[in-house]
Structure 1
Amino acid sequence: MRRKRTNLSLSLAIALSLLIAPVASAEGADTKVDYLALGDSLAAGQSYDKTIGKGYTDYLGSQLSKIGVLSSFTKQFAVSGYTTTQILNDIESNIVKNGVSIQDEIKNAEIITIDAGANDLLQLIEIDREELKVTYDQEELTAGITTVGQNLTSIFAKIKALNPTAEIYVMGYYNPFPILPSPYKEQFVPLLDALNQVIANVSKPFGATFVPTADSIAKNALGYLPNIQDIHPNQAGYLAIANDFWKAINVKKQASFNDDIPEVAKEEIEYLVEKGIIAGYVNGNFGPNDLITRVQSAIMLNRAIVYSDDSAPNPNYTDVNDHTFGYDVIAKMTEAGVFAGNNQLFNPGNPLTRAEMAKVLVQAFELKGTGARSFNDVSSDYWAAAYISTLAENGITIGYNDGSFKPNDYITRAEFSIMLSRALNDSFK
């Protein structure tokens, strides 16, 4: 039966209020992660103005803390200007900083991120930013890329010898010179592709995950790289890189449910549980057919996407205050433009409709569409028509067999898990 959004019964309202808390609880709460960031200035958090601040590694640390698994985070072994040779030397010599050795940090880490290789090549390239010219020796660069591959192979081998179970995530580099005119861009981009291919290839034998970032930065290159004299991104650029990593990272949380997960959503739910995005109830159930509320979906999205860890301003909803469950998340999601209220109300305990689901997923993941997809129960002037079409165009939903979308129906925990998994991971589409 098609559900109506208005006139919730008292019993349903009470049930929904009880459903809010379990999403914030975490099965496998004993999962703890020590996170070690190795690499160059990007891992250190150097900004385009030469200062060291929050970089993608800091945001990943904050995200691990947000989902309740972070035990420790250090980036003290990440150094601006470092090459793969210097990182390898630090590991081999077991360098000590602040009373802690790099080998001990490697041994204790569950997650290790690395960005290395760009400085190996940048020192072989002469770039005239005034004349926008690039000069290099092809043989030297080819040899440099070979050296990067050899050094990374040694780095991975030593890490795995010290810690066979560590999860390693390796950054692929973006084009740091989007201002270059076409003739030079056509020379430089293939070099970047060759470097990234080598990094990806040498990562595979060690089970390291290659994390591409070129496409994410290219979407807004001049916005993310505001100083044409510097290759480092601003905070928005670092957040884009952090999200590339976050999509790849799996903290391996575990949850054991009482056989109430439907087969159709089993892989997606397990995927989200392992990433720390969703959990079950304290009684061991997942509750796949329970309706998901607006605040619950906001919490899941806040765990699925890396946002700035700065406090968001008061969203000024009349039904939300700083004592409201999920207040910080509601404020953050409102600041990010993912959620918006209606008549100054957020309605945190209201169940999410399929139309609202379409809007928040499109906004959260910045999905693009043409408006080409239509459904027989969604008119062109319906408030969410563009969002629904975009969601379908991106392969996240195809609607029902009868050609309908049922925009006003509420969405369940299992259904939202399926949609969110597809937005995060193309393999679920």
Structure 2
Amino acid sequence: MRSKRTKLGLSIAMALSMLVAPVASAESVDTQKVDYLALGDSLAAGQSYNQTIGKGYTDYISSQLNKIGVLSSFNKQFSVSGYTTTQILNDIQNNTVKNGVSIQEAIKNAEIITIDAGANDLLQLINFDRKELKVTYDQEKLTAGMTAVGQNLTSIFTKIKELNPKAEIYVMGYYNPFPILPSQYKEQFLPLLDALNKIIADTGKPFGATFVSTADSIAKNAISYLPNIQDIHPNQAGYLAIANDFWKSINVGKKASFNDEIPEVAQDEIKYLVEKGIIAGYVNGNFGANDLITRVQSAIMLNRAIVYSDDAAPNPNYADVTESTFGYDVIAKMTQEGVFAGNNQSFNPGNTLTRAEMAKVLVLAFKLKGTGSKSFNDVGNDYWAASYISTLAENGITIGYSNGSFKPNDPITRAEFSIMLSRALNDSFK
């Protein structure tokens, strides 16, 4: 934790109450549902690298909204493979109807709208020779195409805001679809990609649209995410990476008014997590900032904070976990993802999470990297969680206590875990 913080008091009575009033119980928040509309091209439609339409990033966003209990409806039928900004704009202006629903009606009813548009406008002006692995284009035509993208997006955003001023718009930045290009052609193509993304971001700003960058997350594992060199579409792991880029930005607008006091040092972080639907208060109207957080409760929060495949996970085969155990599905999923593991064939869902365990699960959940360069005076090199604690510190999520200690065996509270989770999700809290 940051040195400015004082250690929060630990209430044993409140900790015990948490075992019977878990995070996932009914809470003192508004329960307004959201309608989610996805507009765009083949990426929004969910086209895979093998040319089939299936689950894409929009489907996983929809699943995540449903996971936190706010999804009313999801519509991606106006997302079409090959669509350009001109075609999307024409659909809106002409009020295209599909399956008895008009696009303007869908826009009016949506609380959340995601858009990916612009790539096809330019790809049709670029020749990618997959045999020779080179890119060629006419600069004049490409410049005109960039200008048209900006103009069309302005018209799209204008029309959306006319129809629905309150809609939250999230617009996708594109990744490099040609990671196999030799360096000389990457030097030509990547500036074009940067220019397109700048147009998308700058065009959306006046309308309050949130730009979602995907380039870095795809680039980290591009060869794996884009397995077909003849196709620009990702596999399911790639779509999950894009969905997580969106999820870090999406705010579902949940609100909570708590009866008890929230420590000032954690107020912004708790508000952030509440608004994202990741955490909330108890049925009695309290938040319980000083309550100790259990292993299952931290797993639930992480499962809400990170988008995973919505396929059911296999039985984790813990001796103390059955299908009737509170949080069973989450325990199974987080075990499958390698974030949590049992001890002596038990998961111990009701056990409190220690600061060392917190470091481990956050590092694993967010796939954080470190060098082992950060040390604390109470964490030896041979301590089982030393590398996780160092990595957490290297990533700016913790700096320990002012006396140079980390106190790895201390339990962690809801407020403390909220602070750490917020920093992992959002760099502005570091």
Q: For this structure pair, what is the TM-score category when the shorter chain's length is used for normalisation? A: over 0.9
Deviation of 1:28 (Å):
2.5
CA contact (8 A) 2:15 2:291 kept: no
Q: Deviations over 1:341-381 (max 9, x none)?
A: 11111000000000000000000000000000000000001
TM-score, with length taken from structure 1: 0.96
CA distance in 1, matches of 2:154, 2:141: 20
Q: Deviations over 1:300-359 (max 9, x none)?
A: 000000000000011110000100000000000000011011111100000000000000
| Match in the other structure for 2:4 | none
| Match in the other structure for 1:17 | 19
SS at structure 2 position matched to 1:135 = strand
Deviation of 1:22 (Å):
3.7
SS at structure 1 position matched to 2:61 = helix
| Match in the other structure for 2:359 | 358
**Does 1:92 pair with 2:85?**
no
CA contact (8 A) 2:44 2:56 kept: yes
What is the 5 A alignment of 1:34-53? 34-53=35-54
CA contact (8 A) 1:16 1:349 kept: no
CA distance in 1, matches of 2:27, 2:236: 30
CA distance in 1, matches of 2:284, 2:135: 63
- Of 28-37 and 232-241, deviating more is 28-37
CA distance in 1, matches of 2:199, 2:28: 39
| Match in the other structure for 2:335 | 334
TM-score, with length taken from structure 2: 0.96
CA distance in 2, matches of 1:234, 1:51: 11
| Match in the other structure for 2:253 | 252
SS at structure 1 position matched to 2:266 = helix
CA contact (8 A) 1:294 1:352 kept: yes
| Match in the other structure for 1:160 | 161
**Does 1:75 pair with 2:69?**
no
Moved beyond 6 Å, runs of 4+: none
SS at structure 1 position matched to 2:206 = helix
CA contact (8 A) 1:25 1:279 kept: no
| Match in the other structure for 1:6 | none
> Relative to 1, partners in 2 of residues 1:134 and 1:255: Cα closer, same or farther, differing over 3 Å?
same
Deviation of 1:25 (Å):
3.2
CA distance in 2, matches of 1:294, 1:399: 21
SS at structure 2 position matched to 1:142 = helix
What is the 5 A alignment of 1:3-402? 14-19=16-21, 21-402=22-403
CA contact (8 A) 1:16 1:350 kept: no
CA distance in 2, matches of 1:192, 1:426: 24
Task: Report the AA paired with residue 17 of structure 1.
Answer: L
Task: Report the AA paired with residue 90 of structure 1.
Answer: D
CA distance in 1, matches of 2:170, 2:275: 17
Task: Report the AA paired with residue 80 of structure 1.
Answer: S
Q: Deviations over 1:46-93 (max 9, x none)?
A: 000000000000000000000000000010000000000000000000
Task: Report the AA paired with residue 34 of structure 1.
Answer: D
Task: Report the AA paired with residue 335 of structure 1.
Answer: Q
- Of 52-61 and 138-147, deviating more is 138-147
SS at structure 1 position matched to 2:200 = helix
How many aligned residue pairs are there?
Answer: 421
SS at structure 2 position matched to 1:329 = helix
CA contact (8 A) 1:246 1:306 kept: yes
SS at structure 1 position matched to 2:286 = coil
| Match in the other structure for 2:415 | 414
CA distance in 2, matches of 1:393, 1:276: 28
CA distance in 2, matches of 1:365, 1:204: 28
Task: Report the AA paired with residue 330 of structure 2.
Answer: V
Q: Deviations over 1:210-238 (max 9, x none)?
A: 00000000000000000000000000000
CA distance in 1, matches of 2:322, 2:365: 23
Q: Deviations over 1:161-184 (max 9, x none)?
A: 000000000000000000000111
CA distance in 2, matches of 1:423, 1:396: 6
Aligned-pair identity in percent equals 81
RMSD over aligned Cα atoms: 1.4
CA distance in 2, matches of 1:12, 1:86: 57
Deviation of 1:258 (Å):
1.1
The runs of 5 or more residues in structure 2 that have no matched partner are 1-6
